[in-house]
Amino acid sequence: MKKSWYLEEYEEKDYLHNKKLQLKSVLLKKEEHYHCELCWNRLSSCVGDLQIGYYESLSKSWICETCYQEFKDLFGWSIQ
């Protein structure tokens, strides 16, 4: 039986388990951007990109709103 992608990501991304995340605006120069750690959606200050996300400071990881809502219980996330 093949594992779902989110279970593979859960196992591989142990640095994101049980973390406190901060809801933040992405404030970057136009050519700079981040990606959601799970779905790879783009976060930046550019029109058309996601401009708000959840940030984990130790790993410097960003999580988009959709992935946060879908996986907060699985990963054990809370808001700081």
Domain ranges (residues) in the chain: 36-80
Round to whole Å and give the CA distance between 28 and 12.
28
pLDDT, residue 60, reads 94
Does residue 60 come out as left (phi exceeding 0), alpha (psi in the -120 to 50 range) or beta?
left
Instruction: Band the pLDDT of 79: cuts 50, 70, 90.
Output: very high
Neighbour tally for 76: CB within 10 Å:
11
Beta strands at 20-25 and 78-79: parallel, antiparallel or unpaired: parallel
Query: pLDDT for 11-67, tens place per residue?
Result: 888 899 999 999 999 887 777 899 999 999 999 988 899 999 999 999 999 999 999
The lowest-confidence range among 6-10, 28-32, 73-77 is: 6-10
pTM metric for this prediction:
0.85
CB 53 within 8 A of CB 62: yes
